Amino acid sequence: MPWKKQPGMPTVKRATHQIDATGMVVGRLATKIATLLVGKHKVDHVPHIDGGDFVKVTNADKVVFTGKKWEQKAHFRSSNRPSGIKRIPVSKLREERPGEVLRHAVKYMLPKNRTQAERMKRLIIS
C-alpha cells in the first residue's frame, strides 16, 4: 500500500503571543498581529488551513497614530437603512472603547473570507 489517506484536518498547535502596545503605531502593530493570527510566521504555513496563533494585547489604550489622525480619522458603521450611516471620530472612540481602534485596524488587515471571524476570536485585547 503505497498511499495511506488520513481522514480529517491536521492538528494545529497554537501558541500565545503577548504584545505590549505602549507607544506603538496602530497600523504597524495591526500588521504584526494580523500576521500572527493568519499563521504566516510559521514554517509550515498552508493557505487553506487556519494555523494562526492566539494574540493577547495589553495597554491598547496607549497606542498612537502618526500625524493628526486622532482629530481627522473617523470610523463608520451602517444600519443598512436610508441615511443610516454613523460617523464616530477616532478620538471619541479612544475615550469610550480604546481597544476598538486596534480591533478595527486588525479586522480590515485580515483576508475577507470565512476564516476572518475565527481569527478575530483569537485576538484578545485588554
Structural domain boundaries enclosing 29: 16-125
72: pLDDT strictly greater than 90: yes
> Would you place residue 89 in the very low, low, confident or very high pLDDT band (cuts 50, 70, 90)?
very high
3-state secondary structure 90-120: HHHHHHHCHHHHHHHHHHCCCCCCCCHHHHH
Split into its structural domains, the chain has a count of 1
Element (H, E) at 35: helix 26-38
Q: Are strands 54-58 and 16-20 parallel, antiparallel or unpaired?
A: parallel
In a domain, 28, yes or no: yes
Q: At CA 72, angle to CA 66 and CA 67, rounded to 5?
A: 20
7: pLDDT strictly greater than 80: no
At residue 9, the pLDDT reads 67
In a domain, 11, yes or no: no
Please state whether the predicted TM-score (pTM) of the whole model is above 0.75.
Answer: yes
In a domain, 23, yes or no: yes
CATH of the domain at 97: 3.90.1180.10
In a domain, 40, yes or no: yes
In a domain, 1, yes or no: no
